[in-house]
């Protein structure tokens, strides 16, 4: 399932968050891999800047080349500006807690990503929750929103 949330990185990027249920796990309620994909428009000549930003994020957060991929769709293929697609796959969900992805990762993309986990679904936090805007990850437990 894909759930949409917004992230800012000089341009507005659309973050698609996809849960992949891992096979063979004893607890069927445990989710395995969370694939996070940013999709946005890349203006002409932006490829170098984008690749440098991705490389810096990899270095800062210890992400290997296989775990963070950048795909730019050429403008010749689609009659729209090229798309940026960044995938982070080294994230796991265990017992309703996000792990292996530092909070500071999202801030490196200029703008925190406020998310909450509710009934094993990752949702964007409603904008009217102003007191929690500075928190990156939120979990909704027993009808109470808490920071991880």
Q: What are the residues whose beta carbons fall under 8 Å from the beta carbon of 80, sequence distance 6 or more?
A: 41
Q: What is the DSSP string of 34-92?
A: EEEEEEEE--TT-HHHHHHHHHHHHHHHT--TTTEEEEE--TTTSSSPPEEEEEE---E
pLDDT tens digits for range 93-137 = 343 333 334 443 333 333 333 343 333 344 444 444 433 334 334
User: What's the token pair of residue 65?
Assistant: 């080349």
> What pLDDT, on a 0 to 100 scale, did the predictor assign at position 53?
60
Half-sphere exposure in the Cβ direction for 103 (13 Å, CA): 11
C-beta separation of 86 from 59 below 8 A: no
Quick: pLDDT tens for 1-54.
322 332 222 222 223 222 222 333 333 333 333 333 333 344 445 556 656 665
Cα angle: 112, vertex 54, 12; to 5 degrees: 45
């Amino acid at each position: 399932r894909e759930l949409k949330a917004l992230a800012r990185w000089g341009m507005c990027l659309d973050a698609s968050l996809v849960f992949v249920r891992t096979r063979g796990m004893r607890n069927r309620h445990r989710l395995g891999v969370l694939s996070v994909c940013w999709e946005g428009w890349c203006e002409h000549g932006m490829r170098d800047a984008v690749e440098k930003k991705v490389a810096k994020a990899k270095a800062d957060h210890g992400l290997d080349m296989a775990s963070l991929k950048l795909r730019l769709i050429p403008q010749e293929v689609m009659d729209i500006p090229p798309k940026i697609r960044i995938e982070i796959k080294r994230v796991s969900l265990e017992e309703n807690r996000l792990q292996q992805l530092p909070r500071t990762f999202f801030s490196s993309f200029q703008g925190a990503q406020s998310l909450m986990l509710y009934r094993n679904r990752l949702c964007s936090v409603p904008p009217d929750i102003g007191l929690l805007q500075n928190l990156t990850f939120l979990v909704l437990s027993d009808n109470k929103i808490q920071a991880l």
